[in-house]
Amino acid sequence: MEILYVFPEPLPLPRARGIQVAHTVAALAQQGVTVQLAYVPSRDGADPLAGYGVNDPGSVERVPLSRGLPAPFSWLPLHSNRLFFRRLRDWIERESRRGRRPALIMARHLKIAHALLDRFPDVPLLYEAHEVFAEVAPPDKRERLARIEESVLRRAKVLTAITQGVAADLKKRYRLDAEIHVLPDAVTWPTQVPEKPWHEAGRHIVYAGSFFPWKGVQDLVAAAQWLPGCRIELIGGSPERIHEYRSQVPAGAEIVFAGHRTHPQTLQALGRSCIAVLPNRAEPNSLWSSPLKLFEYMAAGCAVVAADLPSVREILAPDEAVWAPPGDPRALADGIRKLADDHALARRLGERVRERARAFTWEARAARLAAIMRAAI
């Protein structure tokens, strides 16, 4: 089976979605699927898989397509998904004339999925939903995006969603009868992790991810005032957001802004950490998100303090984390303090979620996805 995975953004991309794409296509290839990966090449020319430390099993064909202007204007810092799609369309048509029309196309970008369905209605499309676009779009764009979203959902051959929440909200809004397969994010499960310094767990607290307001990092920073003696390392964030949050650090815990790290470096830091924090706020993106960092926290054997959100409850049982109401810095601090003061509890929770992460490997996810694809075609 040969499929085309379309991702109209640069790879490698310093965002969780880039990591997910790289692991997804590599894991599908391990399932015997031949994958053509259409993507935007990065400026430094890094490989879209190796740039994340992902091994290519040998059946992922790179299809780099620019979204910039053609020569002699290619030097201009302008890009457009329309330009990407034109090049993608031409590439698919050339390959089709050579007898290599894909058996199925997979996409997670709504407008690209819509354009593919319009241009190639006879090629089955798998749409992977990560949100309800019409719910979070600016008011002046919601009606148009709702039409596009409904069109894609009704015409796609296969629908998958990243969480039960996304699937339920899509079905409710658009009154869908079609099945939506729920496939949460996943992780590379390491066979070994370093021995953690559980006796000083409060000095090895970590957050890893972006600093968008809905991620709740500002609540973790505010929680520092109730955590004297603790040390919290924050990995990620733009320079502007780091500057903003650094100015808000209260007296209390030591806050270390580590800045951007490569994905392998981040995983190494998680391996050394004892307590990992998921402080998301109760906003639509959080309610729909299947946080990649959660699975990485689990696989690294970290005890987890998590915002009490339905999307997180889909993954962790009530006794597998310390829960805090989202948007409540004091409750977040209380949860962290509970683990920092009870090293034995922290260790038990870390060991429990590490074992739980075995069920969420990229290989297991790709096996389900490949079976869904084969059934569709």
Query: What pLDDT sits at residue 71?
Result: 59
Contact call for residues 68 and 83 (beta carbons, < 8 A): yes
Phi, psi values for residue 286, rounded to 5°: -70, -40
CA dihedral of 188, 192, 193, 196, whole degrees rounded to 10: 150
Cβ(65)–Cβ(88) below 8 Å: yes
Segment 332-355, tens digit of pLDDT: 999 999 999 999 999 999 999 999
Give the DSSP H/E element, type plus range, for residue 27: helix 16-30
pLDDT digit string (tens) for 42-85? 888 899 999 888 988 888 999 999 987 665 555 555 668 899 99
Tokens for 96, please give them.
């089709």
Peptide bond before 12: cis, by omega within 30 degrees of 0? Answer: yes
Nearest of 333, 352, 327, 280 to residue 16 by alpha carbon: 280
d(CA 251, CA 181): 47
Distance CA 152, CA 216 (A): 32
Scanning the structure block, which residue is given the tokens 């990992």?
276
DSSP 195: P
Nearest-angstrom CA–CA distance, 194 and 201? 14
In the prediction, which pLDDT does 348 show? 98
Architecture category of domain 2-186+361-376 in CATH: 3-Layer(aba) Sandwich (3.40)
- Residue among 54, 182, 193 nearest 130 (CA): 182
Residues in the chain with pLDDT < 50? Answer: none
What pLDDT is recorded for position 251?
Answer: 94
C-alpha–C-alpha distance, residues 62 and 177, integer Å? 36
Domain 198-359: CATH superfamily is Glycogen Phosphorylase B; (3.40.50.2000)
Using an 8 Å Cβ cutoff, are 292 and 263 in contact? no
Contacts of 45 by beta carbon, 8 Å cutoff, 6+ apart? none
Confirm whether 2-186+361-376 and 198-359 share one CATH topology.
yes
Longest dimension (CA), the chain: 67
DSSP code of 23? H
Contacts with 98 (C-beta within 8 Å, 6 or more apart), sequence order: none
Residue 1 pLDDT: 92
Q: How far apart are CA 19 and CA 262, in angstroms?
A: 11
Q: Which of 294, 302, 295, 234 is nearest to 273 (CA)?
A: 302
Question: In sequence order, what are the residues at sequence separation of 6 or more whose Cβ sits closer than 8 angstroms to the Cβ of residue 240?
Answer: none
Query: What are the residues whose beta carbons fall under 8 Å from the beta carbon of 151, sequence distance 6 or more?
Result: 114, 117
Are the C-beta atoms of 18 and 41 separated by less than 8 Å? no
The residues, ordered by sequence, that sit 6+ positions from 213 with a Cβ below 8 Å of its Cβ are 281
Buried (b) or exposed (e) across 278-291, using 16+ Cβ within 10 A?
bbbbebebbbbbbb
Contact yes or no for 356/319 (Cβ under 8 A):
no
pLDDT of residue 45: 85
Q: What pLDDT sits at residue 247?
A: 93
Sheet holding 254-259, edge to edge: 254-259, 231-235, 205-208, 275-278, 303-307, 322-324
Give residue 82's Cα distance to chain centre.
24
Whole-number pLDDT of residue 13: 87
Residue ranges of domains in the chain: 2-186+361-376, 198-359
As a whole number of angstroms, the distance between CA 336 and CA 275 comes to 8
Question: In this structure, is the dihedral angle defined by the CA atoms of residues 260, 262, 266 and 268, taken in order, positive or negative?
Answer: negative
Q: Are 210 and 278 in contact (CB under 8 A)?
A: no
